[in-house]
Structure 1
């Protein structure tokens, strides 16, 4: 599939602060794309620009074939946005909120009602359409927010930290719905999140900090490049294992529980080590590198919420 979003040479400053310094990335049509970065990285500014909410100082953005600055109305018709903070009226019912949103697109009443029903079904809000938005649980509100963004059947859905503040079970339900949109309907999903286990499900990831792109690739590519698997061994005899690791020239750390932590260049490297010390193993574990490791190694910090 081709690119549905192309960002080239994007720049934006606020006075002397360079929020975005020259960002380049592309998003494949129908993909789940994760855009990651700690607070202050330039992530929100970039999203505000490509969703037509903020004018860039330089650079080019093309969404669904439409050029930012020339075809902004067409871009807005092609995208849906779920903000971290809701835009819906707490005193109105979910259905009333969706009707108000839908009228902004100038749909005839019969067509609008059909679109509301379709969006409600997709987002799983049909059962509480008649309830005031302000009376809903956190997970129900988030699903209603997504239904709002789906009214006009966008080609690209922007999700700004869609599960922040939700309990694990509700997060799982919301996330299942997002994956269903992307996989079954072919919708392009542009995700920001502070949960690395969510980012690990993306097709492609771009990580930025200080207004610049640090790394791009699939989760597997990034983990292979920026994270190491870890072999943990609890030996029968500490002296023997220490001597073996030093002989092999392997860096290691021994924690307070007497477990040796050995960073691996690849998972397969563990086989040779274990073969050499098989009679000296009381317990062992191989821990795969994670997206948390990737993020920390690139930015020097955990994701800041």
Structure 2
């Protein structure tokens, strides 16, 4: 299957993060190479673009897309949470910009075999990195009911989480839940008919929750943002596009902490944290235009936040 992904907030990201065409830039979520390709068109011959992705299919697709670009570029198959070791392996300490697009690629969603989509039937997988031993199948078929309920409630913000977990556990007593279609049917059975009539697809929140658990998507965000800022040159920028409120909350809170000189509790009479601000915000969060949402409905929930190293 050809790797296809519609890049969201493309020009907004590049215009916000690119400050020096001769600099070093890291696309931490390479995907099909949309942001990387646009960035490469604006980099000078001596500029360096580093693309990171844990999905080999994404790296192969980006390699094909960027093969004729004039700037220097290289790709690393790894998880962006290992930023310190990735840059060390490339003998780099400081760079001029980082790009994050935290959405699941259209390719992964649309490829039924990857098991991300509640719209396409396939085996329950949801791994962004095929080397990851934890799959959606393992979670759905082995996690305790309480753990399933907690994950679906926290990561999916699903009001029927407890009931869905109960139905999953009851169903798997008879036989394993093997495919995305099996799981969708269990979820539909768990959610009362009146609640299924309005709003998004009834399985959307549960699928999001399980995907986040498989890939530890939220657990790595704060530390990764702090690591990236430590590797930014002064004046360098970090741009992050989020697609759901949980991610956006973590990014917003982390950036806010890094913007403050003191993070002591407000009731302390003197500062004891000795914390110094490391970034400043580059304006308000950026959202897609109505035109972009019309052309790509998946862009609707996207938010771009950008900070600059001080």
Relative to its length, the structure with more helix (as a share) is 2
TM-score, scaled relative to structure 1:
0.24
Relative to its length, the structure with more strand (as a share) is 1
User: RCO greater where, 1 or 2, for CA within 8 Å and sep 6 or more?
Assistant: 1
Structure number with bigger Rg: 1
